[in-house]
Structure 1
């Protein structure tokens, strides 16, 4: 494995509040990484920084061969470079079918004539993307009638269809049934075999199922890192995040 994302000395302040404080860590390719931490730890701000939604006050965020500094790129340039982001609330085109959602998301020229001539290939690719997220039997179903979990899967499928090198996923297990969480775990583990997948999550059972390296954020910096068992045994993590009883149950 080699480093795909290198965050070095990044700081971000909002109206005097330091949301990210000299944050440094790296993500390899391929790798599955979970980021946990209390509310206000900087998890969402971290994603905003990586995707170019906001700019840091200091530090660098290098990507790819690590010669590209994301802090100097626009949101569109970052997306084209292969970084995809899934927000907590699924954002799909509810009036369109699963197939149409996936087709629109495919990484390919989107000019009208290009789409027209690629229609057959796009349909095949969309079906392949649906199979990756367990929706191959719902291709003609309007996205609006899917369950919450299926909408989450569709959005993940739409991102995977774009073949990102780095996929950022925000609380994918929120609102899911136990069976849906299990399927989502399998989906993310499989995706991380060929790319970097970073998951922000509060559900510790879900994080345990991911069986991956965990970074704990607190007050904008990396407090601890390692396996879930390792970070859960760290007294600092217990004090600021887990609490004594939660740590014993983790």
Structure 2
């Protein structure tokens, strides 16, 4: 008797939905190939991180309640973003310290929430992919994915299986890109200095392709690279692993 497929609720994220839907489709493809039944709940909106970082507790709680209600019926919540994943997994339970019922629901959802690539490797036991891409790539470790969720080795493991792809590590892949959600809006000068150093590190790696697991970071770095006249392309790691790199690179206009 065959074992039932785990039901995965895909949290698409605001940026992916509005700016880069192909990442969502790549995530669905990877999850289905890993033996999951994937659904995208219509009740999802924002995870609440921008409001949370800005000190807007009331709206953050409202968004958290909506997300919990939309996803708690699934076996897993999977998100192609370390920052949104960390918001749900690490910060939702702390929002409801004075509401035991909602805290329990938040903790239950947090326990089954995973960043996409770590879910594929750590939960589904994925050893490699069948994608191919002849390119020299470098990988940026996004702050939330790395420091809050422990995403480091997993994307590199799967990228090593992509035929023709050569990974060229930056000297400091774990250093922030300067995006930080609302940080780049509040402190644009500091953010620009940080991403300027990042672009230098990317160039020094000799890579022609920049990869990461967070679209916000990728958009920030891609914008800087483009303004500097760099020919380095930026893509979400899921697009490469799923073999879906036909769309223009992040930061490039569609024809």
Q: Which has the higher strand share?
A: 1
Same fold, TM-score > 0.5, yes or no: no
Whose helix fraction is larger, Structure 1's or Structure 2's?
Answer: 2
Considering Cα pairs closer than 8 Å and 6+ residues apart, tell me whether 1 or 2 has the greater RCO. 1
